[in-house]
């Protein structure tokens, strides 16, 4: 899995990551279905342990180009979790009230409590990607946000939150196919918006913004993982496995019950 992790201080060039890569599962989708089921089962057990221990929390950040599969990742990878302990948040255009605060104010309010998992389907990284591409704030403003984000995520990590960030990497041609499928399939047509085509014309600008964000905010305490996402099944396998591995490394334990006041029956 280490091949997909961006080391702290590394300069990211997305040309070095093949979005069609499925190299860890050479036998293909059908052969990996059983492995995916095992990963889902492992995640269920680890979530219960996380909740029982109640000492730490997990923040999963999903970013990527339009149609990269953020919703699908939530639907498939997180499906085995107990919904009582998981929240999913999507950060759209900020409200007037949110704009009157610093850009991380609305983000911090949605971070997970001890024992919980929060998933950000788009996140605070919109404030160094979208605002940059569309020139919504001056460069002197968004350029400072990389360090502010790193400090924010360090604080979360030192407070007991495991921060895992995934960039879902698709090719421009794969995006074209997925946009076309939204038009062709009556069940998906509601997802299509004319603005998607306008955003697609900014592919190069978005890519450049993401490369800078990945380079400047992949840290030891909150690493980025570049996930090949043209093959949806492989995307799900990688994200689920990385989350499971990270939770296992936390060395969590079920708490011992307090039996001091219990009398024998």
Whole-Å CA distances, 136 to 45, 93, 129, 133: 43, 11, 10, 8
Containing 83, the helix (H) or strand (E) segment is none
Residues 6+ apart with CB under 8 A from 64: 70, 167, 168, 169, 170, 229
pLDDT one-digit tens code per residue, 126-182: 999 999 999 999 999 999 999 999 999 999 999 999 999 999 999 999 999 999 988
Out of 3.40.50.300, 3.40.50.1820, 1.10.260.40, 3.40.50.2300, the CATH code matching 2-248 is: 3.40.50.300
Q: Kindly tell me the sign of the dihedral angle through the C-alpha atoms of 118, 119, 120, 125.
A: positive
What was the pLDDT predicted at 54? Answer: 95
pLDDT one-digit tens code per residue, 109-121: 999 999 999 999 9
pLDDT one-digit tens code per residue, 175-234: 999 999 888 888 777 777 777 888 999 999 999 999 999 999 999 999 999 999 999 999
pLDDT at 265 over 60: no
Mean pLDDT of the chain: 93
Per-residue confidence band for 262, with pLDDT thresholds at 50, 70 and 90? low
Containing 8, the helix (H) or strand (E) segment is none
* Number of neighbours of residue 115 by Cβ within 10 angstroms: 18
pLDDT one-digit tens code per residue, 80-133: 788 889 999 999 889 999 999 999 999 999 999 999 999 999 999 999 999 999
């Amino acid at each position: 899995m280490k091949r997909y992790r961006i080391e702290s201080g590394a300069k990211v060039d997305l040309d070095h990551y093949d979005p069609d890569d499925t190299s860890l599962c050479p036998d293909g989708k059908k052969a990996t279905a059983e492995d995916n089921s095992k990963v889902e089962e492992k995640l269920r057990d680890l979530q219960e342990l996380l909740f029982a221990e109640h000492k730490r929390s997990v923040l999963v950040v999903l970013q990527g180009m339009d149609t990269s599969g953020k919703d699908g990742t939530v639907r498939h990878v997180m499906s085995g979790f107990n919904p009582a302990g998981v929240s999913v948040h999507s950060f759209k255009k900020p409200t007037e009230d949110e704009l009157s605060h610093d850009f991380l104010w609305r983000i911090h309010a949605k971070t997970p409590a001890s024992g919980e998992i929060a998933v950000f389907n788009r996140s605070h990284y919109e404030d160094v990607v979208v605002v940059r591409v569309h020139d919504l704030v001056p460069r002197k403003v968004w350029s400072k946000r990389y360090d502010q984000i790193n400090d924010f995520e360090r604080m979360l990590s030192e407070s007991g939150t495991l921060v895992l960030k995934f960039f879902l990497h698709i090719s421009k041609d794969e995006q074209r196919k997925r946009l076309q499928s939204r038009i062709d399939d009556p069940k998906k047509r509601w997802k299509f918006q004319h603005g998607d085509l306008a955003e697609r014309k900014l592919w190069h600008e978005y890519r450049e913004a993401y490369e800078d964000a990945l380079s400047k905010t992949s840290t030891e305490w909150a690493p980025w993982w570049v996930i090949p996402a043209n093959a949806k099944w492989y995307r799900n396998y990688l994200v689920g496995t990385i989350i499971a591995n990270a939770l296992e490394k936390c060395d969590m334990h079920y708490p011992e019950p307090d039996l001091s006041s219990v009398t024998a029956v």
